[in-house]
Amino acid sequence: MAAPLPPDLVAIMARGVSVIVASRDAALRPSLMRAVGSRVEADGGDITVYLSRPQSRQLVQDLAATGHIAVVFSVPSTHRSVQLKASRVEMRNADADDAAVLARYLASMEHEVQQVGFAPPLTRAMLAHRLDDVVAVRFTPEQAFDQTPGPRAGTAIGSTR
Amino acid sequence: MSGPTLQDIRCCFEGIIPATVATCSAEGVPNVAYISQVFYADERHVALSFQFFNKTRQNILANPYATALVLDPGTAQFYRLSIRYHRTETSGPLFEGMRAQLAGIASHSGMQDVFKLLGSDVYEVERIEALEGEPLPAPPARAGLLGAVRRASERLARCTSLDETLNAVLASLNDHLGIRHAMVLMLDPAAQRLYTVASCGYPTSGVGSEIGVGQGVIGVAARERTPVRIGHMTNAALYTQAMRSSFGANVPDFEAVAEIPYPGLAQPHSQLAAPIQNGGRMLGVLFVESTQELQFSYEDEDALVAIAGHLGAAIELMQAATEASESAAAVPAAPHAATPAALAPLVVKHFAANDSIFLGDTYLIKGVAGAILWKLLRDHSQLGRTEFSNRELRLDPALKLPDICDNLEARLLLLQRRLAEQGGALRMEKTGRGRFRLVLHRPVELVAL
């Protein structure tokens, strides 16, 4: 269990910013995809990321087989970024209850991406998915790293070492 | 290999939407990070910008397999690249090309103090996967770039002099590629400087203005012999083409007046420089720029490099043809000059320290071109000559022209254009291959300093 994340960072993650998910296979080959949504609960202690299965077959397979996950949350306009890691995930198919979460995420991302000069149609195409094809991946972060470009990039958040 | 090639997806590598890369440690812990720049290196390799000693860096040194995710910024089509780390380059054409492009990306994203290229991490691309999705319709392909290159090539092939060749290149860029601001610079290999011989789209021609090799986008393209392309305005000092004095400290008095200002845009938002080469030798740089962001794509770079290649061959052909006719033609007898005597004489000053020439108080030219003009004027005043040949200039030990690759044609053209811009009291006219005439519309008074 990671040290608690700073509240301002949790707020940024919770409002819906860019989310990229990675794992790896038994041969240590990495896999990755952009998430089509995210949900942040319990002050950042309970994270769900949503993947479109047709775009993420290898990633979904690797997550199921190894449980290893790395996720970066990033604000497009400021590059403020945090990476979370865990070695256990729970996976399920998204259902009707998730539709509202995904819609809220899309609305936030349309705004975020517009800040860097791209109109909403591009964001909608980038995050397009069918609810039937979406996998929800839930995990509790075990480690968190500041990943904002600069001298502090890579520093563990809450680490006393 | 089925599916897209690296060539097909070059539009994803403009740094408009940052790419992401996943790696894995030897212990099996995955890592994911944003990467400012994925650079098209060749048909089978990409280079990723190495800017920080971070986890990605540690991982690839231990386990070379990585996966990169890129997005077509026009359609939102995703591509996933399975890549394998090979090596890191910290100098040379690839590194410098990336460093220049990254400076533009950094300024654009407000990260100019943070984004600095430490190395170009070169990866072999093992697989490219076009991901399922609902991409936007692709904008219509830019028709006719190949046709534009063809028409430029045809125009160049019709030229019979360097003057015509340079005009044809600039006109072709304007007419067929929609490029409004362009210039051609020739390399002075001994001085390691580039001097402007032709330009279009600027308030002043800037013919004769100089740039050091390695200075700015143009100078880096010349030093590294590689195209350099920046899609955003950059504040990075290295890539601003602001001119510095080329005069030595030994002649401080006229430093301020003896500069031909660089003609280019003060704040270019897109810049592209292609080296002009032939027979393995660096001849100069073809440079274009725009007030618009992201004006020049990889395809424009392809077109400009192809045109610069043709231009290089044409320049050398003009030089060779001139030399061939020089050796065939005897130096004609010098008819006596008839100089109008009614006008007050024009004072022409020559500073031996750097061969700079002033017409009255106006700076004209320096260096080899200055030395040539001084010889012509002295021969005119002492011997009454008006007809000259390239051959005699080449043989004149006082001019110290290098034996080969002296770019004499380019220097004479530069001189001719500078004289024409200064009101035409003195003019040079071509009278045949390798021959020209000095025309004086006013008597001159020569002052050696």
- Which residue is it, tokens 């860096």? B57
Q: Given a cut of 50, is residue B392 above it in pLDDT?
A: yes
pLDDT of residue A160: 37
**Chain-chain contact of B33 with A122 (C-beta, under 8 angstroms):** no
- The alpha carbon of residue A97 is apart from the nearest alpha carbon of chain B, in Å, by 23
Among A32, A52, A42, A141, CA closest to A102: A52
pLDDT tens string B122-156 = 999 999 999 999 999 987 777 789 999 999 999 99
Query: Does a structural domain hold residue A160?
Result: no
pTM: 0.84
Among A123, A139, A110, A129, CA closest to A51: A129
Query: Does a structural domain hold residue A153?
Result: no
Q: Given a cut of 60, is residue B226 above it in pLDDT?
A: yes
- Which residue is it, tokens 């019709």? B158
pLDDT of residue B407: 81
How is B354-387 classified by DSSP, letter by letter?
A: TTEEEETTEEEE-HHHHHHHHHHHHHHHHH---E
Minimal-distance CA residue of chain A relative to B135: A125
Q: Which of residues 11-50 of A touch B (CB under 8 A)?
A: 20-24, 28-34
Query: Does a structural domain hold residue A42?
Result: yes
Phi, psi at residue B422, to the nearest 5°?
A: -95, 25
Q: How far apart are alpha carbons A147 and A155 in whole angstroms?
A: 8
Minimal-distance CA residue of chain B relative to A74: B34
| pLDDT (mean) for B21-40 | 95
Query: H helices within chain A, ranges in order?
Result: 7-15, 57-66, 96-114, 120-126
Distance of CA A49 to the CA centre of its chain: 5
**Chain-chain contact of A128 with B133 (C-beta, under 8 angstroms):** yes
Q: Domain tally for chain A?
A: 1
Q: Which two tokens stand for residue B390?
A: 């390239």
Strands (E), B90-149: 119-130
B414: helix, coil or strand?
helix
pLDDT of residue B111: 73
**Higher local confidence (pLDDT), B336 or B305:** B305
- The alpha carbon of residue A30 is apart from the nearest alpha carbon of chain B, in Å, by 5
**Chain-chain contact of A149 with B32 (C-beta, under 8 angstroms):** no
Q: How far apart are alpha carbons B222 and B236 in whole angstroms?
A: 19
How is B84-101 classified by DSSP, letter by letter?
A: EEEEEE-SSHHHHHHHHH
| pLDDT (mean) for B303-328 | 86
Distance of CA B213 to the CA centre of its chain: 10
A chain contacts of residue B136, beta-carbon cutoff 8 Å: 121-122, 125
Query: Does a structural domain hold residue A28?
Result: yes
Phi-psi region of B41 (alpha: psi -120 to 50; beta: other; left: phi over 0): alpha
A chain contacts of residue B131, beta-carbon cutoff 8 Å: 33, 54-55
Task: Classify the complex by whether its ipTM is higher than 0.90, answering yes or no.
Answer: yes
CB proximity A144 to B under 8 Å: no
pLDDT of residue B243: 41
pLDDT of residue B324: 73
B chain contacts of residue A68, beta-carbon cutoff 8 Å: 28-30
Rg (CA), chain A: 15
Q: Given a cut of 70, is residue B335 above it in pLDDT?
A: no
- Parts of chain A with a pLDDT under 70: 1-2, 159-161
B338 confidence band (pLDDT: 50, 70, 90): low
Q: How far apart are alpha carbons B161 and B432 in whole angstroms?
A: 10
Q: Given a cut of 70, is residue B249 above it in pLDDT?
A: no
Query: Does a structural domain hold residue A128?
Result: yes
Q: Given a cut of 50, is residue B90 above it in pLDDT?
A: yes
Q: Which two tokens stand for residue B95?
A: 């590194």
Residue ranges and CATH numbers for the domains of chain B are: 7-130 (2.30.110.10), 145-326 (3.30.450.40), 346-448 (1.10.10)
- Highest-confidence range of A53-57, B213-217, B244-248, by mean pLDDT? A53-57
Query: Does a structural domain hold residue A151?
Result: no
Q: Given a cut of 60, is residue B295 above it in pLDDT?
A: yes
Q: Which residue type, as a one-letter code, is found at position B142? A: R
pLDDT tens string B44-73 = 999 999 988 789 999 999 999 999 999 999
pLDDT of residue B102: 85
pLDDT of residue B381: 92
pLDDT tens string B254-288 = 444 567 888 999 888 899 999 999 999 999 999 99
Query: Does a structural domain hold residue A70?
Result: yes
CB proximity A74 to B under 8 Å: yes
Q: How far apart are alpha carbons A78 and A74 in whole angstroms?
A: 8
Sign of CA dihedral A18, B141, B274, B243: negative
Q: Given a cut of 50, is residue B204 above it in pLDDT?
A: yes
Domain that holds residue A125: 7-146
pLDDT of residue B63: 97
Query: CATH no. for residue A56?
Result: 2.30.110.10
Q: Given a cut of 80, is residue B23 above it in pLDDT?
A: yes
Per this entry, what is the length of chain B? 449
A35: helix, coil or strand?
coil
Least confident of A116-120, B54-58, B233-237, B393-397: B233-237
**Higher local confidence (pLDDT), B340 or B250:** B340
Q: Given a cut of 80, is residue B365 above it in pLDDT?
A: yes
- Across chain B, which distance is largest between two alpha carbons, in Å? 92
Query: Does a structural domain hold residue A157?
Result: no
Q: How far apart are alpha carbons B112 and B104 in whole angstroms?
A: 9
Determine how many CB atoms are found less than 10 A away from the CB of residue A105.
22
DSSP 8-state code for residue A102: H
Angle at B261 between CA B258 and CA B265, to 5 degrees: 170
Least confident of A57-61, A143-147, B14-18, B39-43: B14-18
pLDDT of residue B395: 85
Q: Given a cut of 80, is residue B400 above it in pLDDT?
A: no
Among A20, A28, A79, select the one facing B111 at the smallest CB separation.
A79
Q: Given a cut of 50, is residue B250 above it in pLDDT?
A: no
Question: At a CB cut-off of 8 Å and minimum separation 6, what does B113 contact?
Answer: none
**Higher local confidence (pLDDT), B218 or B326:** B218
